[in-house]
Structure formats: structure tokens, C-alpha cells
Amino acid sequence: MRQKALRAAAVAAVLCAPLAACPGRGKQEQAATASPSAALAGARLNVLLVTVDTLRADHLGLYGYRRATSPHLEALARRATVFDQAYTYWPKTRGSFVAILTGRLASQTGYSKGRQELLDWNPTLASVLKQAGYRTEATVDNPNVAAALGYARGFDRYRQTWLEPSLPTEVDRMRAITADGVRALQQAKAGQPLFLWLHYVNPHAPYQPPPPFDSAFLDAEAAKGPVLRAVNGFHGGAHAPWAKAGRPLGWYVAQYDGEIATVDAEIGRLVAALDASPVRDRTLLIVTSDHGESLGEHDYYFDHGEDLFDPCLRIPLLIAGPGVKAGRSDVLASTLDLVPTALDAVKVSYPPELAGLSLLPATRGEDRPRRPRLPGQNDRNLLGAWDRRYKIVATPEGDGARYALYDRERDPAETRDASRQEPERLRDERRELELLRDRVDAQMAKTMRLLQGLPEPQKLDAPSCERLKALGYVLPAGCS
């Protein structure tokens, strides 16, 4: 028993364990019994969540990038807390948004290879805020977060732009997202709090920015790098449907950067609308991404999710609003933290068993939350954990796993497994990861019971499947 207790304590140190040693445990218990009228006593702040698909932090000026891809985000950063150590928990759209919207690990939500959806037993940010009296709206442009897959849970209005024939291009859909945001902010009323989620897909491949951003970054760098051949898939060259004969890697990266600048301009319009709105001082604004992108690192081109390297994991995170201190924070921040952060800010009770922590103290200039490392998983059953320096990744092999250790201070590109050079570090990190694995397995055993007896996943409609194919999903789940 003592051994078990010790292990439990160690797991809590890996990341905040459900119902144990978590700040906000009282809140969770309250949530189980709180009546809707009690929940209405929140701070009534609006919540505006803006997510940009496939956005690498290190391709933004505010994270030190050499190109001017993000002037509007830089302007926002001057009044926001910018998180320098923000990571996704799951570097693929569906799994990432389940974590973003629930604040729970996949082993809790039931997200898995066979069920790549947001299952309806999970409270979401939208469902909790709706119960607290919020109007909840979303406009999204990625069939991976289709209502048919559960992502509309808790929203009064859920607009899926790709289903509208009057919005045939990505630019049309992007403008519709911004227009919805502007209108919602203009119409916002002090007595009716609003949760609005806007999701732009633009930086996702294929990279096809509109003018002037298609040529904005065709500088000397854009002519560099190997000329990429057309391939099927994402290794050894550019995915054939998107490949342009004779173009070097640098050209593709310049197009990716053009997509970022395109959506940055839209965020500029949204922030201007917020500033001109009656709720300027009553709105918490969160800007982030679901995951990054591999731009040729590790021979992985213009996709994300297969590995747990930093290009796919590291994301931007900016939080602005009442009480937020302008500045940088280097606390470890995860997409799992967005639910507790938003609910902490608006003073609405947490749903039970959150895996993340509130980042609100960091937005007040404090060096909290403090935790030693963050977890990551992907659709290939890789499991990883990292601190500011070391990362360990377990890859399934036979009945067990192969472990790799990366020293990101000495080896920022994560190209050398440091296991042999640092056996003690490997042992320590591996022990922590195995504890996390035990916890995930135990949760999954419980979750499996909930999964049994669920109806088959819904099939996606034909327009959604077509759109997924255009985004590079060869065999999208739910389209077979």
C-alpha cells in the first residue's frame, strides 16, 4: 500500500492528478453539486477563444522569428501575457481539441484511435459555461471538429463554414469567421455573457496564401534548401497533390509563413472590433493553436502528429483581458490548461477531474502554476513528457516500448538520443513516464467501460470528407 501511495504522489508531481493534490479540488467538488443558479454567480466575463490551426510559435515575430509574419499578434502581445513555454498535449487536430475543450487526458475522455471524437459524457468549456448562463457560439473551419464528431457539444450555435456552398474558398471561410466574431462583439451586451470560439484553418497544408501574402516572403531564404520531389505522404519530399515542381524547401516555408500573415491580419480585425465594442474591458481573449507543423525536420514535411518533436508540439499562447499583466511568462503551459484557466478567470466552477491547471496566476505576474513537466501523446500511441530541457518519448515496440531522451538545451533540433550519455537522467525520466503510463492505463480501463455499449461513430457527410481529403487526410476516419 505504501508503495502505491508513493507512486500516487509521484504521479501527482508529473502533472496535477484528478481529485488529488490539485488546486481547485474544492471547486471540483462544488461543481458536482452546484445548481445552475449558483453557477450564475460568476464574474460574467466574456470569453473569446481564437485558435489558429497548425501554428508554430517559432514562426511568429513575438517568439523571435525573423520574418514579419505577425504584426497584429505582436500588437496584441503588448497588452497580453505571452507564454514562452506553451505546448500542445496532442499534436493532431481532433485529439488536441478534445483536450482544449475538456481539459482532460485522452484516457479520461475516451479519445482513441477507434473513437477520434469528443464523446458526450465529457463536460466541455461550452457546456459548463452554457450551464452558467452564457450564450455559447462557435464558427469553425476544419471538418475534424465537425458537429457530427461531438465538438458542438454545449454550443447554442455552431457554424461549420466548409458546409456552406456560398463559401467555396479558404479565404471566403476565413472572412466569414472574422465577420461572425466582429458581429458578435458589436452585439455583445453587458448582461448576457458570451463564450465565442473562432477556429481558423489557414496555416494547415496545402499552403496557398492569397495575395499579397503569397509573395510577401519570397526573400533570399525562400530560395534555399533542397528541391523537394513529389511523394505520396509526408516523408522524403512534398505530398504530391501540393508539390510544385522545382521548388526548394524555403519556398514552401515562405508560403506557410504567408498563411500565418493572412490569418494574423484577421486577428487584427477581431482585436480592433473588440476594442471598439461595449465589452472591451469585460472580455478574456485567448489566442493559441491546436499544434505546430513539421517543416522538414526529421524528414517529415508539411504535416504534424506522427512524432512528439517540438516543431509539432510548441504553440503560441497569448491571454489578454481584465487583470492580465502585459509581459512574458515562462511557466510550462499546456492546451490542457485552457479550461481551468478560462473558468478560473470567469469564476465558474470546474467540472471534475481536470488534468490541467489554471494559468491565471501567471497572467497576474506570478511564477505559477509550477509543475515539473508536461505530458504529450499522439494517435500512434507515443507517450512523452518534458520539462524546459529534457524530453523523454516512449515509442511502442513489441510488448513494451523503446525510450529516447533528448537534451533540448544541447540539441534543440532533437536529433540525438542522449540515453547512453545520460543513463541516470534516462532512469529518472523513464520512471516518471512509467508512472504516467500506469495512470493513463488505469484511467483507460475505467473509460473502456463507458465506451462499451456506445453506438457506432457517426459517418461524416460527403462535403466534410472532401474537405478532409483536401487537407491531406488520405483515409479520414468516418468517411469510409
Half-sphere exposure of 358 (CA within 13 A, CB side): 23
Distance in angstroms (rounded) separating the CA atoms of residues 295 and 311: 8
Radius of gyration of the chain (CA): 21
Who's near 469: CB < 8 A, 6+ residues apart? 476
Distance in angstroms (rounded) separating the CA atoms of residues 140 and 324: 27
For the CB of residue 333, give the shortest distance to Zn ion in the complex, in Å.
18
The C-alpha torsion from 16 through 21 and 27 to 32, rounded to 10°, is 90
Tell me if 284 sits within 8 A of 49, measured CB to CB. Answer: no
Q: Which of 46, 69, 70, 93 binds Zn ion (CB under 5 A)?
A: 93
For the CB of residue 95, give the shortest distance to Zn ion in the complex, in Å.
9
**Residue showing cell 520539462:** 387
130 or 173: CB nearest Zn ion: 173
**315, three cell numbers:** 504553440
For the CB of residue 290, give the shortest distance to Zn ion in the complex, in Å.
4
52 or 318: CB nearest Zn ion: 52
84 or 290: CB nearest Zn ion: 290
Question: What is the Cα 132 distance to its own chain's centre?
Answer: 24
Count of CB atoms situated within 10 Å of the CB of 359: 28
Distance in angstroms (rounded) separating the CA atoms of residues 195 and 218: 39
315 or 435: CB nearest Zn ion: 315
Which stretch in 49-57, 345-353, 429-437, 464-472 sits in contact with Zn ion by CB under 5 A? 49-57
93 or 102: CB nearest Zn ion: 93
Which stretch in 178-186, 237-245, 284-292, 457-465 sits in contact with Zn ion by CB under 5 A? 284-292
**363, three cell numbers:** 497572467
Which stretch in 52-60, 147-155, 223-231, 333-341 sits in contact with Zn ion by CB under 5 A? 52-60
For the CB of residue 89, give the shortest distance to Zn ion in the complex, in Å.
13
Question: What is the Cα 412 distance to its own chain's centre?
Answer: 22
Q: Which of 259, 266, 290, 306 binds Zn ion (CB under 5 A)?
A: 290
CA distances from 179 to 139, 144, 186, 197, 393 (A): 10, 22, 10, 13, 42
Which stretch in 19-27, 36-44, 228-236, 286-294 sits in contact with Zn ion by CB under 5 A? 286-294
Asked whether position 202 contacts Zn ion by CB under 5 A, the answer is no
97 or 252: CB nearest Zn ion: 97
For the CB of residue 374, give the shortest distance to Zn ion in the complex, in Å.
19
Is residue 154 left, alpha or beta, with left meaning phi > 0 and alpha meaning psi from -120 to 50? left
109 or 131: CB nearest Zn ion: 109
For the CB of residue 203, give the shortest distance to Zn ion in the complex, in Å.
9
Kindly determine how many residues on this chain lie close enough to bind Zn ion according to the rule CB under 5 A: 3
**Residue showing cell 481539441:** 97
Distance in angstroms (rounded) separating the CA atoms of residues 250 and 217: 10
53 or 117: CB nearest Zn ion: 53
141 or 429: CB nearest Zn ion: 141
334 or 443: CB nearest Zn ion: 334
Distance in angstroms (rounded) separating the CA atoms of residues 227 and 214: 19
Asked whether position 53 contacts Zn ion by CB under 5 A, the answer is yes
**Nearest one of 27, 47, 50, 60 to 290, comparing CA atoms:** 50
Alpha-helix runs per DSSP H in 80-138 = 93-102, 106-109, 125-131
Count of CB atoms situated within 10 Å of the CB of 223: 12
For the CB of residue 53, give the shortest distance to Zn ion in the complex, in Å.
4
Asked whether position 293 contacts Zn ion by CB under 5 A, the answer is no
For the CB of residue 439, give the shortest distance to Zn ion in the complex, in Å.
26
117 or 290: CB nearest Zn ion: 290
Which stretch in 26-34, 105-113, 282-290, 422-430 sits in contact with Zn ion by CB under 5 A? 282-290
Which stretch in 36-44, 192-200, 283-291, 468-476 sits in contact with Zn ion by CB under 5 A? 283-291
Distance in angstroms (rounded) separating the CA atoms of residues 258 and 264: 10
- Using DSSP's 3-state secondary structure scheme, residue 38 falls into helix
**Contacting positions for Zn ion (CB under 5 A):** 53, 93, 290
